[in-house]
Amino acid sequence: MDADKKRALLGSAIRKRREAQGLSQQKLALMVGSSKSHIWRIETGRVSVGLDDLGRIADALDAKVRDLILF
C-alpha cells in the first residue's frame, strides 16, 4: 500500500471518530493545539501526520493511536 493511501485511511479514521463524537474540526484543532485547516489537511490525507500530532489527536478523541491506523 502506498503512502497516499495510508494517509487517506488515517485521515478517514480520524474524521469518522471526530464526527461520531460530535466534534467540529475547529473544536478538535483547539483540543490538540492545531489549526482547523491543518486538521482538514490531515483528514483529507493531504499531509503526513507526525507522531506527536497523532498522539495528541488520539488523546483528544479518547482513542489509542493503533485504533486510528487501519492499514
Taken in order 62, 15, 42, 48, the sign of the CA dihedral is positive
Q: What is the pLDDT along the chain (71 residues), one digit of tens a residue?
A: 899 999 999 999 999 999 999 999 999 999 999 999 999 999 999 999 999 999 999 999 999 999 999 87
The distance of Cα 29 from the centroid of its chain, to the nearest Å, equals: 10
- What are the backbone angles phi and psi of residue 22, rounded to the nearest 5°? 70, 25
Element counts in the chain: helices (H) and strands (E): 5, 0
CA atoms within 13 A on the CB side of 70: 13
Dist. CA 33–CA 12, nearest whole Å: 20
- The reported pLDDT for the residue numbered 47 is 97
- The reported pLDDT for the residue numbered 61 is 98
- The CATH number covering residue 7 comes to 1.10.260.40
- The reported pLDDT for the residue numbered 6 is 96
Domain that holds residue 61: 3-68
Total tally of structural domains belonging to the chain = 1
